[in-house]
Structure 1
Amino acid sequence: MRNSQLLAAYRLAGSMALGTDIDPEFKYGAGNALTTPGIATLYLSKATRDVLKDNKMLYGWASGSTDIYEYDVMSNRAADNSLSDLQRERLKASFSSITVLQFADDETAERVAKDMSNADFAVAANENRSISLPNYPTATSHRRPGVPTLGSTLAHGRYVIYIHVGIVDDDVTQLTTLAEKTYRTQIPLLDKLPALSPADMLRLPPDPDGMLRRALNPKVSPSLDDIEYFTLDRIGYYQVNRKQQLNDSLYSEAGADRFTRSWGTELVRTRDEEAAKILRDKVVELLVPSSEPADSVPQLPDTKCAKNTDPRLNDKFVDTGERKRFLCAVQYRRYVAIVDANQIQDAHQRAAAQYALFANSQIQ
């Protein structure tokens, strides 16, 4: 069942609004699959946990975007922190975060939206003030005067949408405008995504385009993981790896439509073979800007390798959590895979193994 929840969340990720669709400056952020009420309340007020549990939340996705790279857009401090702490903190960035949850039916979603809003409001009932959104009269919204953020909840069919927006200046008009723009961007995407029943969720294919089974898995047994083992469309991939959205012009030019991660290996499907060749030659520099050319894999011409010169990598080959010391891009027909290792020989062996997987599976 957890796998079905992850697959449903991945499907939803491809229909979540990107920050740049709301504001061109919202280039940075993060996203995460929500499979339990406990995980969901990492991004919502903790007071809503029982509401989600009692109403049998099926799955969801949380996504946030901001104009400052260092700002933690996913933490909902306005929901649970004291007013004095919030006023001392003062926002240093503008942001918009969206959480979408799915429930069994429309009636449950309507009840959850109301109860979530009430529970959130009650955290600081003496300080919170209700706010109306003129274009979304059924949304319940509130804010704390003196704190430049606004929370709002809206039922939309079987979905419940919670948005949390903030600006640097405490201006109600600007907050209202940003909240309405967030709804206006997100709702049409959900209109194109039919809600799922639990049975529908169990029938979702774990590898719809056969990419996970063709990607080299250098670490552990294959099991779905929302960080290390997944396959997503382009928008969904940006939701989990927002920095890659900054490279959208390259991926769009290559016609990249499917992205896969397999415990260290990344696989991209492009429009055609020529597009894959262009992506192969450029993607290494995008993934690791601090790099220099390294020897390609012997007798494997369709590869490009580089040495990661990031100063955080010391002589003990400490992993930075992003990329290891050597990485290679492997191209086969319209597919490009990226592998990495801390020794050049290991990187070459992984690249050769990935090429063999491509060739033996005869990807068209």
Structure 2
Amino acid sequence: MVDHRTPVTARLALGALAVLLVGCGTVDGAAVPGEIDVRTLDVGSYTTAPADIEAGRKPTDGPILEGLRMAGAVVFPREVDSTLSHNWGSDVLDTPRRTSDVSAISNVNLPVLERHRMIVGFDIAEGSQAFDKAKPAIETDARVTRVVLLRFPGKETAATAARDLEATDFGVSPDNQPVPIPGYPAAHAHWRPGIKTIGATFAHGELVVSMFLQHPTPDIDAMARRVAAILDAQVPLLDQFTPTAPDRIAELPRDPDDLLRRTLIPGPSNQQIAISSREFSAWIGRASRHYRPTEPEELGAAWDRGGVDAVANSYSTTLFRFRDDVSATAFGTTWQETLSTAAHPVAAPDDVPGAQCAERREGKALTRCYVSYRNYGAFVSGAEATGVRQQAAAQYALLANAQ
């Protein structure tokens, strides 16, 4: 059995983000009754004009946009196993090479992915312990579940790909043995006796579910039951997902729920930026849960109460759409009240209603501010406090101008 310990190379939702590049700024719009005149805010040289997102369309966008749709169809392992409380990362896998390099798919399977014309994948991993890049998971007693959805151009192709992925992985070691999965006779699985991991694939329509699980002990029956439990939760989600026809993927909207145009971007509003899953993209509906904070618990609870149903990210800006304006404001208050000991509150930008900012106490400088406008809330961050406050003011103005 191939060793699948490579971590998911994805940024965490509320982690330190890249500093925004400064571009030429404009301040549009006049105040409506009960609101400030955003033209008076100090936005520095940041733009506050909503961007024409479709104008930036690139040939590479389509598969990533389909992968973002798939992000809403993948099972969250912690929903099946509550012990998997630590997020090890999630991301779109936009090429066969990247899929074989960083996901649960073995790198020996690159030819299989290419031969069967893999379109895109989505990868998620969660564990019972925090991920430690200095110590391989196999050397711990952590429970780990990693799920990869792979999209292929047709049901027959997907079914063949699932068999070939398993056969190639199985052939790596002469010690590998097949494992039946309870309730799923069409699933392909294997393990190496005495090793506490299992790999499995299962084709469902045009998608293949690839799984890698680690158990505290080499209990093959327990691992097979865990694979079945994942499929029990995953298959209904796939039944609700409608894959985009391969010849229509290039036409998928870049901003399907009108969030990116409300999100602060570097430079002028007419610039053209390619979709990048963790730098410039929108995560709609259930997919937005990949940005739900898990620590502290109070912040995750505020997210749940707020009914977040869409997230957009643009470099160092992350925008959330809440159920209502009260929820958007409450989330920021909870964030400020639950800052870790590594951060402390700092001055917010002048005249931006409800804005809140914090600064990291130690290590590399980082300032983060939260602003809300109506039912939207956003984090902006960077290394230079004055610039971050200008970003916060610009994001507030942009939200007002985008109405």
Same fold (TM over 0.5): yes
CA distance in 1, matches of 2:370, 2:327: 14
Deviation track 1:231-288 (CA, whole Å, cap 9, x = no partner) reads 1136424436775695432111011111111110111111111111111222345676
Q: Contact between 1:19 and 1:27, CA under 8 Å: does it hold in 2?
A: no
Q: Provide the residue aligned with 2:118 in structure 1.
A: 57
Q: Provide the residue aligned with 1:328 in structure 2.
A: 369
CA distance in 1, matches of 2:119, 2:338: 37
Letter in 2 for 1:329: Y
Alpha-carbon shift at residue 120 of structure 1 (Å) = 0.6
Letter in 1 for 2:328: A
Q: Provide the residue aligned with 2:343 in structure 1.
A: 291
Q: 1:269 aligns with which of 321, 325, 333?
A: 321
CA distance in 1, matches of 2:141, 2:121: 28
User: Per the alignment, in what secondary structure is the counterpart of residue 236 of structure 1?
Assistant: helix
Q: 1:70 aligns with which of 131, 155, 165?
A: 131
Letter in 2 for 1:279: F
Letter in 2 for 1:54: R
Q: 2:159 aligns with which of 94, 107, 110?
A: 110
Greater mean alpha carbon deviation, residues 45-54 or residues 216-225: 216-225
Q: 2:100 aligns with which of 17, 25, 41?
A: 41
Letter in 2 for 1:335: Y
Q: Provide the residue aligned with 1:23 in structure 2.
A: 81
How many residues are paired up?
336
CA distance in 2, matches of 1:336, 1:102: 33
CA distance in 1, matches of 2:295, 2:99: 24
Q: Contact between 1:238 and 1:245, CA under 8 Å: does it hold in 2?
A: no
**Matched-pair identity in %:** 27
CA distance in 1, matches of 2:191, 2:82: 25
Trace 1:1-364 onto structure 2 (pairs within 5 A). 1-28=59-86, 29-42=88-101, 43=103, 44-71=105-132, 90-124=139-173, 126-218=174-266, 222-233=273-284, 235-239=286-290, 243=294, 247-284=299-336, 290-309=342-361, 311-313=362-364, 317=365, 324=366, 326-362=367-403
- Larger % of helix: which? 1
Using the size of structure 2 for normalisation, the TM-score is 0.78
Alpha-carbon shift at residue 223 of structure 1 (Å) = 2.3
CA distance in 2, matches of 1:289, 1:269: 28
Q: Which structure is richer in relative contact order (CA contacts within 8 A, separation 6 or more)?
A: 2
Q: Contact between 1:99 and 1:161, CA under 8 Å: does it hold in 2?
A: yes
Q: Contact between 2:127 and 2:144, CA under 8 Å: does it hold in 1?
A: yes
Q: Contact between 2:288 and 2:309, CA under 8 Å: does it hold in 1?
A: no
Q: Contact between 1:63 and 1:239, CA under 8 Å: does it hold in 2?
A: no
Question: Cα 1:228–1:243, aligned 2, differ >3 Å: closer, same or farther?
Answer: farther
Q: Contact between 2:294 and 2:300, CA under 8 Å: does it hold in 1?
A: no
Deviation track 1:159-187 (CA, whole Å, cap 9, x = no partner) reads 11111111111111111111111111111
